[in-house]
Amino acid sequence: MRIIAIISVLLLLLSACSNEADYSPKPRGYFRIYYPEKVYRQYNESCPYSFQYPVYADISADPKAVNKSCWINMNFKQFNGILHLSYQPVTSKKIFNELVEDAHTFAFKHTVKATSIDEGYINYPDRKVYGLYYTIDGNAASSIQFFLTDSTKHYLRGALYFSSEPRLDSIQPVLDFVKKDVDVMIKSFKWK
């Protein structure tokens, strides 16, 4: 009787170990993202600049910039992102050089987490818009930073941040989408 019980248990175990259903864990999933249609409107307030920005973004004064007019935030609420724009008048060559150096320093503070930082020149001489565009790859807090200037009177710095853990693999689709909006903003930018 004991032998029959042992054989029955072995047969039961062998029949349960079938190779037909290999189990593999499912990859980590992310929320489905719905992208709005790309439609732009003009920003033309009392600041010394104007540009086009997407209709799904809201512009508000930067609450942390007390006594700094024309420091604004372009809020991408749907994507939990903010493009910070800070304006400074250029009053001397020394101030201009300090502002440009600050932009470089702020961009390269992300070197610790970045896998690469690329610089691109912005040059629209017909509108007197010049500057540098920093693309920061990797798990850095800010993936896009730039500054725009006319080299004599005006300076505007921009930095894009998402209010989530900086994991490039999860924010890359949204970053690519918003980056096109930043590109439109820069290409349409004009000094008043």
Q: What is the mean pLDDT of the chain?
A: 87
Q: Is 133 helix (H, G, I), strand (E, B) or coil?
A: strand
Q: What is the predicted pLDDT for the residue at 92? A: 95
pLDDT tens, residue by residue, 112-143: 777 888 999 999 999 999 999 999 888 887 88
- The tokens describing 115, both together, are 């896998």
Averaged pLDDT for residues 166-178: 81
Q: Is 75 a residue whose pLDDT tops 70?
A: yes
- Indicate the pLDDT class of residue 166, thresholds 50, 70 and 90: low
Q: What is the predicted pLDDT for the residue at 14? A: 65
User: Which of 61, 76, 62 is closest to 185 using CA atoms?
Assistant: 76
* Cα 170 from Cα 90, distance rounded (Å): 39
Q: Is 146 a residue whose pLDDT tops 80?
A: yes
C-alpha dihedral sign at 138, 77, 53, 128: negative
pLDDT tens, residue by residue, 1-32: 778 877 777 776 666 655 555 667 776 666 67
Q: What is the predicted pLDDT for the residue at 137? A: 86
